[in-house]
Amino acid sequence: MKHYDVIIIGAGAAGLMCAATAGYRGKNVLVLDNAKQAGRKILISGGGRCNFTNQKVEPHQFICANPHFVKSALARYRSSDFIELVERHGIEYHEREHGQLFCNDSAKDIVTMLLTECEWSGAKLQLRTDISDISKTGDGTFELTTAKGDYSCDALVIATGGLSMPKLGATPFGYQIAKQFGLNVLPTTAGLVPFTWHSEQKSRFESLSGIAVPTTITAADGTQFSEALLFTHRGLSGPAVLQVSNYWQPGQAISINLLPNENALDKLLSTLETHPKQSVRNTLSQWLPKRLVEALFDATQLDKALNQLGHGERELLANNINQWSLVMNGTEGYRTAEVTLGGVDTNELSSKDLQAKKVPGLYFAGEVMDVSGWLGGFNFQWAWASGVAVGMSV
Ligand SMILES: Cc1cc2nc3c(=O)[nH]c(=O)nc-3n(C[C@H](O)[C@H](O)[C@H](O)COP(=O)(O)OP(=O)(O)OC[C@H]3O[C@@H](n4cnc5c(N)ncnc54)[C@H](O)[C@@H]3O)c2cc1C
């Protein structure tokens, strides 16, 4: 049985970062993955350009049952550290809105960089390897049975990611290992995911597919995002919707402000003064896409002139624009989700080195644990920072 100081399961963002970090510290490292390619999620991320981090990363941009948990790892490996690494490898990048950093060319550059770092550090990567059994011996060593032979190690790192995008090889393996060693795993759901219509909403709004509008969307708990909303055949998507999905529970309403930073009632009243005979349809169509106006309100309302609207009717119209309340049917689920909410309970782990408190030598890195970030490069920053935190202590 070949022995390593460290075996990392999962050659994704967190696993590769952890491998290089531990390798540079002189550790004998093996990374195992059942896929035929390393970093597959990185390759498709950010529309193929990988939103690899964000200029401004703060703990409140992460969802975790223990909001303090992420602080230590994030403080020790900052987005500026990753930017420095990217620059050292000569990868050109650009900044988009909200501080999001993307590769100029391709997400492949990031995978190549991580694989190069692993190679330079001496960490070994073995793909297409199914792991069938893991056990811990009396002397504290972990033993792994795989389709390609048996291995043992002093430190075992689980970096198998979440459940989103099963067609890219996502598996519940990490959760199963956590449970096998007696660790609590919090229920998982799809995050950063589009919403779907109820059937009656679908017949009313489906025709809006392709329309994008700037919005502010508020979740039932008050969390708010000001970004674009995109109507799709199936429901609602776009950055504002993906962000708010992280804070949504089934059955809860979301409130959509279709005229962020403007008071629709004030606007109606000032138009009433200048153009009292203008129709509601023409008035609203100057503020919002016409097709959206037609879908939101019925013809009897839209055909009226502004001076035919009663006081209550004006308020109702304005309210529907500034606070459009919608109870969506559900989400598109793991099939299209960017992340998985929930996972290995962080109360089971030390926030310093991400080692299981009850199982010395067993570590977790990346999305497999109950940490998910906002849209905008935060999930990768968590993968890099947690990978480094583990790599520094194994
Ligand atoms: C479409 C899409 C776009 C995204 N875009 C962005 C973005 O632009 N910016 C951002 O910050 N985040 C983005 N994310 C989220 C980001 O990809 C993840 O949060 C990040 O990859 C998590 O890193 P990880 O190392 O924990 O897991 P992963 O990168 O998912 O890696 C897990 C690895 O474990 C391996 N594995 C799984 N099960 C087993 C098993 N049983 N045996 C062996 N190996 C196994 C997998 O093959 C994989 O290589 C995106 C996600 C998706 C789905």
Residue 242 to residue 264: CA distance in whole angstroms: 25
Which ligand 1 atom is nearest residue 368's CA?
26
- For residue 353, count CB atoms less than 10 angstroms from its CB and return exposed for 0-12, middle for 13-18, buried for 19 or more: middle
Question: Which residue type sits at 79?
Answer: S
Residue 91 to residue 103: CA distance in whole angstroms: 7
Question: Which residue type sits at 155?
Answer: A
Residue 207 to residue 290: CA distance in whole angstroms: 12
Residue 30 to residue 20: CA distance in whole angstroms: 10
172, 250 Cβ separation under 8 angstroms? no
Q: Say if ligand 1 is within 6 A of residue 21 CB.
A: no
- Ramachandran category for residue 355: left, alpha or beta (phi over 0 → left; psi -120 to 50 → alpha): beta
Residue 80 to residue 114: CA distance in whole angstroms: 17
Q: Using a pLDDT cut of 70, give the percent of the chain over it.
A: 100
Do 295 and 344 lie in one domain? The reply is no
CATH classification at residue 203? 2.40.30.10
CATH classification at residue 355? 3.50.50.60
Pocket test for ligand 1, best of 338, 368, 384 (most atoms within 8 A of CB): 338
Asked which of 315, 331, 347 is the last residue of a domain, the reply is 331
Contacts of residue 226, Cβ cutoff 8 Å, sequence gap at least 6: 214, 215, 216, 240, 260
Residue 356 to residue 335: CA distance in whole angstroms: 30
Q: Say if ligand 1 is within 6 A of residue 173 CB.
A: yes
Return the pLDDT at 154: 98
- Tens digits of per-residue pLDDT, 64-97? 999 999 999 999 999 999 999 999 999 999 999 9
Q: Say if ligand 1 is within 6 A of residue 169 CB.
A: yes
Question: Average pLDDT in the 18-28 region?
Answer: 98
Do 298 and 345 lie in one domain? The reply is no
- Tens digits of per-residue pLDDT, 95-126? 999 999 999 999 999 999 999 999 999 999 99
- Tens digits of per-residue pLDDT, 313-323? 999 999 999 99
Do 142 and 223 lie in one domain? The reply is no
Residue 116 to residue 345: CA distance in whole angstroms: 32
Tell me the CA–centroid distance for residue 50 and ligand 1, in Å.
12
Do 140 and 13 lie in one domain? The reply is yes
Q: Say if ligand 1 is within 6 A of residue 8 CB.
A: no
Q: Say if ligand 1 is within 6 A of residue 33 CB.
A: yes
- Tens digits of per-residue pLDDT, 231-242? 999 999 999 999
SS3 of 157, please?
strand
Do 238 and 285 lie in one domain? The reply is yes
Question: Which residue type sits at 305?
Answer: A
Structure tokens at 344: 């290995």
pTM (2 d.p.): 0.97
Return the pLDDT at 58: 97
Instruction: Extract long-range pairs of 283-287: CB within 8 Å, 24+ residues apart.
Output: 284/317, 284/321, 287/259, 287/262, 287/321
Q: Which domain holds residue 361?
A: 2-190+338-391
Q: Say if ligand 1 is within 6 A of residue 144 CB.
A: no
Asked which of 331, 356, 382 is the last residue of a domain, the reply is 331
Q: Model confidence at 169, in pLDDT bands (50, 70, 90)?
A: confident
Residue 61 is classified by DSSP as: G
Do 135 and 55 lie in one domain? The reply is yes
The count of domains in the chain is 2
Do 263 and 244 lie in one domain? The reply is yes
pLDDT at 244 over 90: yes
Do 154 and 216 lie in one domain? The reply is no
What mean pLDDT value characterizes the chain?
Answer: 97
Do 36 and 114 lie in one domain? The reply is yes
Q: In which element (H, E) is residue 81 found?
A: helix 79-88
Q: Say if ligand 1 is within 6 A of residue 50 CB.
A: yes
What are the residues facing 125 on neighbouring strands?
A: 31
Least confident range from 71-75, 163-167, 325-329, 371-375: namely 163-167
- Tens digits of per-residue pLDDT, 132-162? 999 999 999 999 999 999 999 999 999 999 9
Do 153 and 302 lie in one domain? The reply is no
Asked which of 282, 309, 331 is the last residue of a domain, the reply is 331
Q: 């589009």: which residue's tokens?
A: 194
Pocket test for ligand 1, best of 41, 98, 163, 378 (most atoms within 8 A of CB): 41
Distance of CA 200 to the CA centre of its chain: 29
In the sheet that 235-237 helps form, which strands lie side by side, from edge to edge? 324-327, 253-257, 212-218, 224-231, 235-237, 195-196, 330-331
Q: Say if ligand 1 is within 6 A of residue 23 CB.
A: no
Considering only CA atoms, which residue is closest to atom 37 of ligand 1?
Answer: 160
Helix axes 378-393, 79-88, angle to 10 degrees: 90
Do 100 and 116 lie in one domain? The reply is yes
Q: In which element (H, E) is residue 192 found?
A: none
What radius of gyration, in Å, describes the C-alpha atoms of the chain? 25
- Tens digits of per-residue pLDDT, 186-217? 999 999 999 999 999 999 999 999 999 999 99
Question: Average pLDDT in the 163-185 region?
Answer: 95
Return the pLDDT at 59: 98
Do 245 and 257 lie in one domain? The reply is yes
Tell me the CA–centroid distance for residue 163 and ligand 1, in Å.
9
Return the pLDDT at 200: 94
